[in-house]
Amino acid sequence: MSSPPPGRTILEDGKLKPGSYKIQNIVSKTYLDIHEHSMELCCRPASALGKDDGIWEVLPFGAGYTIRMEHPEYMEKPDCFCTVKVGLTSGSPICVSPFPVAWSIKVTEDEIYEGFEYVRIFWGQNNASWDLESDGSKNNGARVQLMDDERILPCRAWKLTPVKCVEEGETCCSCTHHDMGTEHGVDDYGTTVIEVTTVSKTTRKKYRVTEE
């Protein structure tokens, strides 16, 4: 069986599918994460991500979407929704907080990005959008910021890779630590996958991530 066309997995009826995603900057090829102390968004190479890092839940909220961190440390806390730290000014850091906001996520397709669908993330109906500093810096911890001009730049484009929760159930323990196991395999399409199991106080989830 042949592999499904690349990048055709995030749309449903012309809109972004709600779900869990890895969010990757098109230019740097690094992944969305947060600075632990400042709680500001940044990007890191895959090799620098921890075992629980880099999974984001995108859900409808009003006319837009909330973007919520799915790290086990934060899922039982309210302070994990993406928002603006300072205000709607160019260069304002994007951070996580207890106050969800609706982001406008516009899905576009352009052949210069290898035929993959990519998104731009805007503040409501404003032209201000997510931008990876220094024109898409590859540095570990490069800041994600809001830029309020109308320029269409590659460093403001993001690739969303679906991360599916394929199994979920109650755990049989009340431990407060988080364990994770990883298995490599090949699915029915011949695509290499990673299956990750996370354990929190009350739930067990197995995530399936398609590798590049």
List, for residues 105-133, the tens digit of each pLDDT value. Answer: 998 766 555 666 789 999 988 889 999 99
Residue 182's closest CA among 208, 210, 212?
Answer: 208
Residues 92 and 145: beta-carbon distance below 8 Å: yes
Here the tokens at position 141 are 């911890």
Residues 27 and 136: beta-carbon distance below 8 Å: yes
pLDDT digits (tens, 9 = 90+) for 48-81: 998 778 999 999 999 999 999 987 776 666 678 9
Domains of the chain: 13-162 (2.80.10.50), 164-210 (no CATH)
Q: Give 90's DSSP letter.
A: T
Rounded Cα distance between 30 and 22, Å, is 10
Assign 123 to helix, strand or coil.
strand
Model-level pTM? 0.74
Q: How far is CA 76 from CA 1, 69, 88, 183, in A?
A: 41, 11, 29, 26
For residue 13, count CB atoms less than 10 angstroms from its CB and return exposed for 0-12, middle for 13-18, buried for 19 or more: exposed
